[in-house]
Structure 1
Amino acid sequence: MAFRQIFVLIVSLAVSIPGWTQEIEVNPSHPDQYTVVKGDTLWDISGRFLRKPHQWPLIWEGNPQIDNPHLIYPDDTIYFSEVDGKPRLSLSPSGFAGDLGSSREVKLYPRIREMDLVDAIELIPSEKIAKYLASPRVVGQDDLENSPYVIDFAGEHLVAAPGDRVYVRAIEKPESLTYTIYRKGDTFVSAETKEVLGYEATFVANTTLQEPGDPATLLVTRSTSEIRMGDRLMPHQEGDFTLHYFPKSPETEIQGSIISVLDGVTQIGRYNVVAIDKGVSDGLKVGHVLDIYKKGKSVRDPFSKIRNDTIQLPNVLAGTLMVFRAFDRISYALVMEARQAIHVLDKVQTP
C-alpha cells in the first residue's frame, strides 16, 4: 500500500476563515465529543454538532500548518467547546492522549501520523457522484450539431466495441489525439422562462485518432454502451475535479429550481443527483449549498365569500443540496438532506 507521512502540528483541525458572517446554529442535542467510525462522512459528523452541517468550516479553529482539513480518520475524536461565546470543533488523533482540562480544552502537540490517505473520512460519499464528474457534460445545441459524427464502422461490425475502429466525419485538422463519443441526452429547460439552457451530452466511448481526414479513422479504447452511427465526437477533456469540498452558502441570492434527476428516479431523496437551472453565470460555484423548498399546494377556501376562491400555501423546507459540478447555466448537485420526498420543479435558494 502506498503510505504518506503527514506532518501535522495540531492545535485544532481547522480551515482559516476570516470573520463571522453567518450565524452558527448549534444542534441543541450535540454531544461533547464524538469518536469517528468507518463509514462516517464529514457532513454527518458535522450534523451531530450543527443544525446546518455546511457551516462546519466556520467553527474549526484556523491552523495554517494543516493543508488538508479533510484528513480525519476512524477512531479520531472530535470535541465541542465554546471560546469567547463562539462554538468550536477540535480534533484529537486516534491513539493520542490529550489533556482534557475541566474546560475540555484539548492540548495537542507536534507528532507524525502515517496513514493511508484512502482511509480518510470523506465530506460526502464519493461513489454517489463519481460517474458524474467527467461525464455527462452540458453543452449548447451548436456544440453537438457542429461536432464530427460516426458515419460507419471498420470491417463487418454492426456495432463497435473497444479494439474496433470507427469512421468519423470530419476530422481533417485535429484539435486533439483523443476524442470522446457522446450521445445527446436530456434537454435542460428553465423552470420559469422555459428557455433551453443546455443539452446533456452522455458519455458513450473514448477513442484515439489513427488517421485524420474525411472520414477520419479512430480506435475505440473504452466504451460503456454500444456506439451508434450519428453519435457525436468532441476532443477529450481532462477534468480538473476534486472530492474535497468546502461547503458554504452562495455570496449572492440564488432562486432556482430542480429541473432533472440524473439517475432517473421520480421521487428524489438523500444522495440523489439532480440538475438545477442555475450555474456559474448566476454566481454558483462548486461547494455552494442551497436549501430545497417543496412548492406549497393551492387549496380551495370553502369559507371565502368569493366563489371558488383558492389560496396558495407557503413553500416548505424539504432538504439541502450541494453543488459539485457547475456549468455556465446548469449545475449538478447532490441532495445532502431530505426531510420529505423531493420532486422535479421544487425550488432551491440561498439558505
Structure 2
Amino acid sequence: MKKLLCGLLAFVVLSFTHVSAETREDSLLLREDYPQEYVVVKGDTLWHISGRFLQSPWKWPEVWGVNPQVDNPHLIYPGDVIYLTWVDGKPRLGVRRDSGIYPRARTSPLDHAIPAIPLRDIIGFLNDNRVLPEDILKDAPYVLGGRSARIIAGAGDRVYARGTLLEEQRRQGVYRAAGEYKDPDTDEMLGFELTKVADADVKAQADSVISLDVVKSKKEIRVLDRVVPTEEVRIQSIFYPQSSPDGVEGKILKVLGGVRDGGQFNVVAINKGVREGLEPGHVFAIYRQGERIKDPVTKDFVILPSERSGELMVFKVFEKVSYGLIMQSTDVVSIGDTLRQP
C-alpha cells in the first residue's frame, strides 16, 4: 500500500511538472508560417524580425537569450542570415554572418545596426516632447517678446523672458504648452504636455528679465512660450521589451499627432508613469472599448465586452504619464482604450 501511494504521488508530481513545462513553453509560441531562415534587410527591426517567427514578437529577448554568434543581439546588420534553432527544447534565433572558404573581416558602422523598434517613428517625441507637472510649468519663465516689440521670433533673433530659470545653464529650450492631461478615472491632473519650438542661449539676466539668443528653431517663438532647461537625452535604439508590471492597468489619453484614432506605429500618451513603476520597454496589450448597442428584445442598451486590438511598447516615461509606440494593431486604437498586461 505504501509503495502504491508513493507511486501515485510520484505520478502526480511528474504530471504537474510536465503540465508546468508545457505551460512555460506555450508562452513562447511560434507562428504557423515561420521561416527556417530570414535575411536581414535595411529598415528591419528586431521586433519585426522576431514577428516573422513568434506569435508575440515582444518576447524577442527570450529567443535571443542563447546566441553565442552575437554578443549583442542589437548588433545585427543587413545581409545577416537569421535562422531558427532549438536549445533545451525551446526556440532560439541564431545569426550567420559572411561565410566562405577563406577567413575575412567585415566592418559596419555601429549606427548601421538594426534597431529594436522603428526609431523614425519616435525620434521626434524623444527629443521635442515633454510632460511637466503643473507647478513646475507655472514657475518656468515666459517669453515677453523680441527686439523692436516683435511678438514672433526665430533662429538668429534675440528674445526676452521674465522669471527665474529653473536651472542655471546656458542652453535653454523654448517650449509651447500643447495641452493638459487628466486621469480619465480619477480626474487627477497628470501634467502638461510641452512641444519644443526652439533652442536658445542665455546671454544676460537683469532682475527678472532674461535675454536669450535663439540658436535653432523648429517653429516661431511666440509670447507666453515657456523657457525650460534643455533635456539631456541620449538617443539609442536599445530597448528590452518586457511585460508591464503586475496589477498596473491604464488608459490611452491621447494619440499624438493631432488625431483621435491611431494604428500601428502611432505614438500615444498613457496615464501611467514612473510612480507606477513603468520603464522604457514595458509592453501593454490594448483593449478596445466595447460598443454600446440596443437590445432588440428588451429595448435597453448593452455594453459589449472589450476586445484585444493591439500591443504597445513604452519608450519614454514621465512621473505620471508615458509615451508608447503602437507596435501591432488589428483594429483602430482610440482615446479611452484600456491597457493590460500582454
Query: Using the alignment, how far apart are the partners of 1:215 and 1:338 within structure 2?
Result: 49
Aligned to 2:63: 59
**Contact 1:174/1:212 (<8 A) preserved:** no
Between stretches 235-244 and 136-145, larger displacement belongs to 235-244
Shift of 1:112: 4.7
Say if 2:284 is the partner of 1:290. yes
Say if 2:217 is the partner of 1:223. yes
> Which consecutive residues of structure 1, in runs of 5 or more, have no partner in the other structure?
1-19, 99-109
Shift of 1:122: 1.9
Tell me which of 63, 70, 75 is aligned to 1:71: 75
Q: In structure 2, do the counterparts of structure 1 residues 146 and 296 end up closer, same or farther at CA, with 3 Å as the change threshold?
A: same
SS in 1 for 2:310: strand
In the TM superposition, 1:198-277 aligns within 5 A as 198-213=191-206, 214-277=208-271
AA matched with 1:27: R
Aligned to 2:89: 85
Tell me which of 279, 301, 325 is aligned to 1:334: 325
Q: Identity of counterpart residues, as a percentage?
A: 40
Q: In structure 2, do the counterparts of structure 1 residues 289 and 26 end up closer, same or farther at CA, with 3 Å as the change threshold?
A: same
**Contact 2:76/2:114 (<8 A) preserved:** yes
Shift of 1:309: 3.5
**Contact 1:252/1:283 (<8 A) preserved:** no
Aligned to 1:186: 179
Aligned to 1:44: 48
In the TM superposition, 1:86-101 aligns within 5 A as 86-93=90-97, 95-96=98-99
Aligned to 2:307: 316
Shift of 1:327: 0.7
**Contact 2:139/2:164 (<8 A) preserved:** no
Aligned to 2:18: none
Shift of 1:149: 1.2
Q: In structure 2, do the counterparts of structure 1 residues 287 and 173 end up closer, same or farther at CA, with 3 Å as the change threshold?
A: closer
Aligned positions, number:
317
Tell me which of 330, 334, 337 is aligned to 1:343: 334
When normalised by structure 2's length, the TM-score is 0.86
Query: Using the alignment, how far apart are the partners of 2:326 and 2:168 within structure 1?
Result: 37
Between stretches 204-213 and 147-156, larger displacement belongs to 147-156
Q: In structure 2, do the counterparts of structure 1 residues 346 and 121 end up closer, same or farther at CA, with 3 Å as the change threshold?
A: same
Tell me which of 32, 38, 50 is aligned to 2:36: 32
**Contact 1:171/1:212 (<8 A) preserved:** no
**Contact 1:290/1:348 (<8 A) preserved:** yes
When normalised by structure 1's length, the TM-score is 0.84
Q: In structure 2, do the counterparts of structure 1 residues 237 and 22 end up closer, same or farther at CA, with 3 Å as the change threshold?
A: farther
Shift of 1:150: 1.3
Aligned to 2:190: 197
Shift of 1:146: 1.2
Say if 2:106 is the partner of 1:121. no
Query: Using the alignment, how far apart are the partners of 2:261 and 2:165 within structure 1?
Result: 46
Query: Using the alignment, how far apart are the partners of 1:62 and 1:225 within structure 2?
Result: 48
Between stretches 209-218 and 164-173, larger displacement belongs to 164-173
SS in 2 for 1:275: strand
Query: Using the alignment, how far apart are the partners of 1:240 and 1:186 within structure 2?
Result: 26
AA matched with 1:68: N
Between stretches 320-329 and 23-32, larger displacement belongs to 23-32
Cα RMSD, aligned residues only: 2.3
Query: Using the alignment, how far apart are the partners of 1:163 and 1:243 within structure 2?
Result: 33
Query: Using the alignment, how far apart are the partners of 2:339 and 2:240 within structure 1?
Result: 19
> Which consecutive residues of structure 2, in runs of 5 or more, have no partner in the other structure?
1-23
AA matched with 2:130: R
AA matched with 1:58: E
**Contact 2:165/2:228 (<8 A) preserved:** no
Tell me which of 153, 156, 159 is aligned to 1:163: 156
Between stretches 235-244 and 165-174, larger displacement belongs to 165-174
SS in 1 for 2:191: strand
Shift of 1:31: 1.0
AA matched with 1:252: D
Shift of 1:91: 0.8
Shift of 1:207: 0.8
- CA deviations on 1:297-339 (whole Å, 9 max, x unpaired) are 2333334xxx433333211111111111011111101111111
Shift of 1:279: 0.9
SS in 2 for 1:49: coil
SS in 2 for 1:134: helix
